[in-house]
Amino acid sequence: MSERKKPLILVIDPAPANRRLIAECLAQLPDVQTLAAGDGAQALQLFRERAPSLVLMDIALQDMDGLSVVREIRNWENGPERQGGPSWTPVVLLSSVMDEDVLARGILAGSDDFLYKPVSEVVLLAKVRAMLRIVTLQQEIHEAHRQLKELSTLDGLTGIPNRRHFDETLAAEWKRCLRLESPLSLILSDVDFFKQFNDIYGHQAGDACLRAVAGALGESLFRVEDTVARYGGEEFAAILPGTDIDGALAVAERMRRSARDLRIPHDKGIDGLVSCSFGVASLTPDSADTPLKLLQTADSSLYSAKRNGRNRVLHASC
């Protein structure tokens, strides 16, 4: 296991000798790293910077109340400044005072367990192993949740964002561009004569065609903030925040050429190849309007592109 992937245990104790003893005990676990802090302020800084997997903390700190440190940890874990969303790090309090009231207040503050000092090596190592097993399970659950969330926003056929993701992204970018008074552009695209393609070559070939077109359209977007999604059937859509009409037309033309450059044969297509038509719309969001205005304008532009010969890019004013 690499050093980066090993669980990191933060040991907080005001006495250097105690920190050293705990670290020596934990050294018996080959797959962990230890990090030590002598006071609450240093501990909180290290916690934010290093994101340990487990915290072992003496409740009697010199610069601040140990329970306050626990509360600060929990507040930071669930606060907006933490990247990656809420999390939970096990905190085990250590105390040389056998006081049930202190134990109860520690649990209420957000700690997860309580050990009385001096702690035997056997008990400490067993507790650490148990807590790290819980951390591992939590990480596995988070990863499964992330994968499920990702699957729920991806189109199963093409692997690009689906209509749900498109709708959510458009709503979010509309609000952001409204706040920033920035332009927002939308491109709607349709594979020309796709029904005839399916009739001639079959649905498996049609699916392969859609996957190839989706890849070509996605590769035509050079900015990470731009999004291309499968809008429905053989239709695709691209959201371009911060892009005016001239920029959107340039992107749409690049997408048109990319789809054409696939050179997928189509007996009923334009010049015997698969092509796409594009409708473009752009505006600076206004509180009196909704994203529907942008969608309707792009859809009208796409209809015009198809009516005027297909394999082209057209736009209309919002």
pLDDT for 136-182, tens place per residue?
Answer: 888 888 888 777 777 788 998 999 999 999 999 999 999 999 999 99
Q: Based on the domain organization, do 144 and 169 belong to the same domain?
A: no
In a domain, 158, yes or no: no
Q: Based on the domain organization, do 143 and 181 belong to the same domain?
A: no
Tracing tokens 């702690």 back to the chain, one arrives at 119
Phi, psi of 158 (to 5 degrees): -95, -20
Q: Based on the domain organization, do 117 and 200 belong to the same domain?
A: no
Q: Based on the domain organization, do 262 and 284 belong to the same domain?
A: yes
CA torsion, ordered 193, 196, 202, 207, to nearest 10 deg:
20
Taking 70 as the threshold, does the pLDDT of residue 86 lie above it? no
CA-closest candidate to residue 10, choices 75, 69, 76: 69
Confidence of residue 116 (pLDDT cuts 50, 70, 90): confident
Average pLDDT, the chain: 91
Phi, psi of 300 (to 5 degrees): -65, -40
Q: Based on the domain organization, do 236 and 277 belong to the same domain?
A: yes
Taking 60 as the threshold, does the pLDDT of residue 94 lie above it? yes
CATH code, domain carrying 217? 3.30.70.270
CA distances from 250 to 97, 222, 238 (A): 71, 12, 13
Amino acid present at 61: L
Q: Based on the domain organization, do 79 and 171 belong to the same domain?
A: no
Q: Identify the pLDDT of residue 88.
A: 87
Number of domains in the chain: 2
- Quick: pLDDT tens for 43-69: 999 999 999 999 999 988 888 888 999
Domain end call among 97, 121, 152: 152
- Quick: pLDDT tens for 288-310: 999 999 999 999 999 999 999 99
Find the mean pLDDT for residues 228-252: 97
In a domain, 3, yes or no: no
Q: Identify the pLDDT of residue 307.
A: 96
Confidence of residue 249 (pLDDT cuts 50, 70, 90): very high
In a domain, 97, yes or no: yes
DSSP assignment letter at 290: -
In a domain, 157, yes or no: no
Q: Identify the pLDDT of residue 81.
A: 61
Determine which of 2-6, 186-190, 273-277 has the lowest per-residue pLDDT on average. Answer: 2-6
CA pseudo-torsion sign 199, 202, 206, 209: negative
Domain end call among 123, 152, 181: 152
Considering only residues 66 and 257, tell me which one the structure prediction assigns the higher pLDDT. 257
d(CA 207, CA 187): 22
Tracing tokens 């700690």 back to the chain, one arrives at 111
CATH code, domain carrying 82? 3.40.50.2300
Q: Identify the pLDDT of residue 316.
A: 86
Q: Based on the domain organization, do 309 and 173 belong to the same domain?
A: yes
Q: Are strands 227-232 and 235-241 parallel, antiparallel or unpaired?
A: antiparallel
Amino acid present at 162: N
DSSP-based three-state secondary structure for 74: helix
In a domain, 174, yes or no: yes
**What domain range is 231 assigned to?**
163-315
Confidence of residue 118 (pLDDT cuts 50, 70, 90): confident
In a domain, 1, yes or no: no
Q: Based on the domain organization, do 34 and 125 belong to the same domain?
A: yes
| Residue 97 in tokens | 């005072």
d(CA 307, CA 50): 59
In a domain, 112, yes or no: yes
Tracing tokens 């989706």 back to the chain, one arrives at 214
Q: Based on the domain organization, do 48 and 170 belong to the same domain?
A: no
Domain end call among 152, 177, 194: 152
Find the mean pLDDT for residues 7-16: 94
Confidence of residue 87 (pLDDT cuts 50, 70, 90): confident
d(CA 26, CA 124): 8
Confidence of residue 83 (pLDDT cuts 50, 70, 90): low
Confidence of residue 84 (pLDDT cuts 50, 70, 90): low
CA-closest candidate to residue 252, choices 288, 225, 277: 277
In a domain, 2, yes or no: no
Q: Identify the pLDDT of residue 18.
A: 92
Amino acid present at 233: G
Cα radius of gyration (the chain): 29
Q: Report the predicted TM-score, pTM, of the whole model to 2 decimal places.
A: 0.60
Q: Based on the domain organization, do 89 and 147 belong to the same domain?
A: yes
